[in-house]
Amino acid sequence: MDTATAALPDNVEALRAMVGQLSAELANERAKASATDALIAHLKLQIARLKREQYGASAERTRRLLDQMELQLEELEADASQDALVAEAAAQKTASVRSFQRRQPARKPFPEHLPRERVVVPSPCACLACGSDRLSKLGEDVTETLEVIPRSWKVIQTVRERFACRACERVSQPPAPFHVVPRGWAGPSFLAMLLFEKYGQHQPLNRQAERFAREGVPLSVSTLADQVGAAAVALMPLHRLIEAHVLAAQRLHGDDTTVPVMAKGKTDIARLWVYVRDDRPFAGADPPAAFFRYSRDRRGMHPSAHLAAWAGILQADAYGGYGDLYREDRRPGPVREAGCFAHARRKFFELADIEGAARKKSRGERTAMVYPIALEAVQKLDALFEIERTMNGLLAAERLAVRGEHSAPLMDELHAWLTAQAAKLSRGHDLAKAIAYMLRRWKAFTAFLDDGRICLTNNAAERALRCVPLGRKAWLFCGSDKGGERAAVLYTLIQTARLNDVDPQAWLADVLARIADYPASRLGELLPWNWSPAPALARGA
């Protein structure tokens, strides 16, 4: 203790300088640690993304893990930036500590289409060194700063002049402009924003109304709701065209999810169904599309009604309500069932999730057993997925040839292995249930060996449905059955636009502005895969 005290200076100023230096060094070390943590998180996220792109998603857990890593990186980058500024401020107070310089990520130049506002800093009139006014320009340095202009509102006054005829005394006036809502006041861009915010960004009308009021445009929720209902009616012809396009496919993905709906004194659990046409995995020429339907419950009569006039291949989970579709005597013909290997794999993966069990154990939670048999099943299924990734986008005939050579032997081996394992397990065992799930539907799971158009999973439908669980956390429930049906219409339009890489809001704005004057026979030109924006919209006007 005496030795440590003796090493300290007696001078107060010297003590302050020493404390400042130590504080600066500590801040530097913290900044280095934060920068290192952020870099490690960034590299891990890059590796995970590259693996997903190269090998594909093996389970939904992969996507959730990527989302968690992105959130973690966001916080670590913010921490690193904050600690670097603290270290710089601390180093400026000392003469001996050099501030830690964090390596900043390379920033891409701002897009060329953004307008530039040139602000010229006044140059000195004389040389700062000698005072001479004989200056000549050598060049200039330009620093670009991204800025945002708050959303602006405007009222468009459409003037229709009236004229009286001096000869016959009749009054002439051009017709009133079209509004999506009869005698409406909302323009197409406003309506598109309202619809996309509600159904594409999951912002209920009450939250939108609050934001509009803060921007100086007070609008009641009931007024906005009127516009949403009328716009949905105006867009129904496009919904019907998309439905017809989807049901013209020979192969569909189908799935459903829950959606709470208000009832008398309680909340009922209704359903949103989706049917997806996506021929891109086998190089199909037809554009992808998805159409949604709403029902108050999950009875099998609903998918039977949705697909009453359709026959083909249905890729779906093992929901019993599809049973009537698979009957041999069904008219216009039986639907062929194709199993989803992602569902089958998930049942085994939950029993082989070693990492998940370790995390639960570290938190003191009860953990389920990890079964080696389940782990082996996952590995066998992953071998099939590995083969599929090598031929995604090939023609159906080419895919079928590869499957016959490489996948068929693995399926024979898998069937024999599953049968042998099932004989060793009791019926009530979780592993036995997972095995039985596949063996009872073996014909559906082997369908992909006979048809190159069939995918190994039903992920196309699950991706299309993802908007609903994301939105449930924001809007909580549908207010009525009509609200659920309206949501199905708008989800159909927005998700189909996304599947075709079209900006849903820009597309809706253009369609709402043009659909009234469009001939019914040409409405197909407004579908997302045929759509060309109006000239004014294309120029960004």
CA angle, corner 313, sides to 307 and 315, nearest 5?
A: 90
Q: Which of 14-18, 375-379, 457-461 has the lowest mean pLDDT?
A: 14-18
Give the model's confidence band at 59: pLDDT under 50 very low, under 70 low, under 90 confident, else very high.
very low
Q: How far apart are CA 288 and CA 280, in angstroms?
A: 8
| pLDDT value for 510 | 92
| pLDDT value for 538 | 47
Q: Is residue 407's pLDDT more than 90? A: yes
Torsion of CA 203, 204, 208, 211, to 10 degrees: -80
Residue 227, token pair as written in the block? 């516009």
Q: How many Å separate Cα 181 from the centre of its chain? A: 30
Q: Is residue 529's pLDDT more than 50? A: yes
User: Strands 163-164 and 171-172: what pairing?
Assistant: antiparallel
Q: Is residue 60's pLDDT more than 60? A: no
| pLDDT value for 47 | 73
| pLDDT value for 413 | 95
| pLDDT value for 32 | 73
pTM equals 0.77
| pLDDT value for 384 | 94
DSSP string, 282-350: GT-SSPPEEEEEEESS--THHHHHHTTT--SEEE----GGGGGGG-TT-SS-PPEEE--HHHHHHHHHT
What would the mean pLDDT of 84-108 be, rounded to a whole number?
67
Q: Is residue 471's pLDDT more than 80? A: no
What would the mean pLDDT of 465-491 be, rounded to a whole number?
80
| pLDDT value for 74 | 60
> What is the per-residue pLDDT across 428-452, written as a single tens digit (0 to 9) for each?
888 899 999 999 999 999 999 999 9
Output 51 or 519, whichever has higher pLDDT. 519
- Count CB neighbours of 453 within 10 A: 20
Q: Torsion-angle region of residue 135: left (phi > 0), alpha (psi -120 to 50) or beta?
A: beta
Which residues neighbour 336 within 8 Å (Cβ) at sequence distance 6 or greater? Answer: 312, 313, 314, 326, 447
| pLDDT value for 187 | 87
Per the CB < 8 A criterion, the answer to whether 420 and 305 are in contact is no
What would the mean pLDDT of 366-376 be, rounded to a whole number?
76
Q: Is residue 83's pLDDT more than 90? A: no
Q: How far apart are CA 490 and CA 497, in angstroms?
A: 11
Give the model's confidence band at 481: pLDDT under 50 very low, under 70 low, under 90 confident, else very high.
confident
* DSSP helix/strand/coil, 256: strand
Q: Is residue 86's pLDDT more than 50? A: yes
Output 228 or 27, whichever has higher pLDDT. 228
Q: Is residue 125's pLDDT more than 80? A: yes
Which residues neighbour 166 within 8 Å (Cβ) at sequence distance 6 or greater? Answer: none
| pLDDT value for 251 | 93
Which residues neighbour 306 within 8 Å (Cβ) at sequence distance 6 or greater? Answer: 273, 275, 293
Q: Is residue 182's pLDDT more than 70? A: no
Q: Is residue 69's pLDDT more than 70? A: no
H/E stretch holding 270: strand 266-277
Q: How far apart are CA 337 and CA 161, in angstroms?
A: 64
As beta bridge partners, residue 254 has 275
Q: Is residue 289's pLDDT more than 90? A: yes
As beta bridge partners, residue 260 has 269
Q: How far apart are CA 27 and CA 21, in angstroms?
A: 10
Residue 393, token pair as written in the block? 């986008």
Q: Which of 169-173, 250-254, 414-418 has the lowest mean pLDDT?
A: 169-173
| pLDDT value for 366 | 63
Percent of the chain with pLDDT strictly greater than 90: 33
H/E stretch holding 85: helix 60-92
Locus of tokens 């934001």: 211
* DSSP helix/strand/coil, 275: strand
Output 516 or 377, whichever has higher pLDDT. 377
